[in-house]
Structure 1
C-alpha cells in the first residue's frame, strides 16, 4: 500500500509540475477572479489527471494479466516511453526558452467557479500525453496484474492528491507566484524538474524485480 501511495504521488507530480499553457491560464485566471474560482479550476485539472490514472490502472491491470509472459520486455518498453516523454519535455522547454517563444493562453471572459472547473477539466482531458504517461507507468509495473484493488485505489488517489496539491499551489500563489513560475525561466525550471521525476520513475521501473 505504501509503495502504491509513493508511486502515485511521484506519478501525479511528474505530470503536474511543468507549468505550460494550462498552468499559466490557471494562475492568470485566479489573479483576475478569486481564489475560489482558481481552486475550482485547479481541481478540474487534478480530476482529469485522476481519471486518466484510474483508466490506465484499470485497463493496464487487465492488459498486464493477458500479457504476463512478456511483462519484462513490456516493462522495458514502457520505461523507454517514459524516457522519451522526459527527453521531449526537456527538449521543448529548452527550445522555447532559447527562442523566447513562450506564450500564454489568450484572455477569455471571466468564468464562474463551476464553469472554471469544467473548462480546465475539458482542456486537460484533451491532452493525450497524460493518458500515455499513466498507461506507460502502469503497464511498466511488474505488479500491474497482481495489485490489489486497494493498492490500485491508493495509486489513483495519490496521483490525484499530488496533482491537486500542485494545481492548488499555483492557484493560491497569486500574482507573485504566477510571475515567478510562468516566466521564461520558471517554466524552464519546472519542465526540467518534471523530466527529472519522470526519468527517476523510468529508472525505478527497470530496476524493479520480476
Structure 2
C-alpha cells in the first residue's frame, strides 16, 4: 500500500514540477489577486491531475489511446485559451480593475478546465500506470492510494507556486508593478502557448 502511495507522490511531482503555461498562469493570477484566489486555482490544477490519475487507474492505456488522436486539437484549444488569457491579463492590468473580478470559485474551475485540456497528462498517467500495473497498482484499492498520492503531491506543488505568486504580488502592489508583472507573465504564457502547439 505504501509503495502505491509513494509511486503516486513521485508521479504527482513528476507531472506538476515542470512549470509550463499553467504554472506561469497560476503565479501571475495569484500575484494580481490574492493568495485565496491563487490557492483555489492551485487546487483546480491539482484536481485535474487527480482526475487524470484516476482515469488512468480505471482505464489505463485504453483512455490514453482514445485521447491520442485528438491530442492535437486539444493542444490547439489549450493554446487559444492561454493566448486569450494572456491578452485579458494585460487589458485587466491596464484598467487596474481586473484583479477584483476574479473569485476563488472561478479561479478553481478556470484552472481545472484549462488543465484538463492538456492531453499529455492523461497519456503520461496512462503509460505510467500501465508500466507499473502488476507490482504497484495490482487492484483498485492500491489504485486509489496511488491517486491520493498524485493529488497530494500536485496540490502541495501548486500551492507552493501560488505562495510564490502571492509574495511577488506583495512586492509589486502598485499600479506600475501590477502592469509590469501582467506584461511579463502574459509574454511568458504566450511563448508557452506557442510552444504547446509547436512541440
Structure 1 range deviating more: 75-84 or 142-151: 142-151
Deviations 1:147-168 (A, max 9, x none): 2258866654554234212221
* Structure 2 Cα separation of the partners of residues 162 and 195 of structure 1: 23
Q: Which residue does the alignment assign to 2:48?
A: 52
- C-alpha contact (below 8 Å) 2:64/2:123 kept by paired residues: no
Q: Which residue does the alignment assign to 1:84?
A: 80
Q: Which residue does the alignment assign to 2:139?
A: none
- C-alpha contact (below 8 Å) 2:172/2:178 kept by paired residues: no
* Structure 2 Cα separation of the partners of residues 88 and 41 of structure 1: 20
- Of the three residues 9, 33, 43, the one matched with 1:25 is 33
Q: Which residue does the alignment assign to 2:96?
A: 102
Give the paired residue count. Answer: 173
Q: Which residue does the alignment assign to 1:136?
A: 117
- C-alpha contact (below 8 Å) 2:56/2:125 kept by paired residues: yes
Aligned positions of 1:5-24 closer than 5 A: 5-9=13-17, 10=19, 13-19=23-29, 23-24=31-32
* Structure 1 residues 154 and 201, CA gap change in structure 2 (3 angstroms): farther
Aligned positions of 1:30-179 closer than 5 A: 43-59=39-55, 62=58, 65-67=61-63, 69-96=65-92, 100-103=94-97, 104-105=99-100, 120=104, 122-125=105-108, 127=109, 129-138=110-119, 141-148=122-129, 156-173=151-168, 175-179=170-174
- C-alpha contact (below 8 Å) 2:42/2:158 kept by paired residues: yes
The two structures have a TM-score, normalised by structure 1, of 0.59
- Superposed displacement of residue 140, structure 1: 6.1
- Superposed displacement of residue 48, structure 1: 3.5
Structure 1 range deviating more: 82-91 or 190-199: 190-199
Unaligned runs of 5+ in 2: 1-6, 130-142
For residue 123 of structure 2, give the secondary structure of its aligned residue in structure 1: coil
The two structures have a TM-score, normalised by structure 2, of 0.61
For residue 147 of structure 1, give the secondary structure of its aligned residue in structure 2: helix
* Structure 1 residues 53 and 69, CA gap change in structure 2 (3 angstroms): closer
- C-alpha contact (below 8 Å) 1:8/1:156 kept by paired residues: no
Deviations 1:99-125 (A, max 9, x none): x3231318xxxxxxxxxxxx84x4533
| Structure having the larger proportion of residues in helix | 2
Root-mean-square deviation over aligned CA pairs: 3.9
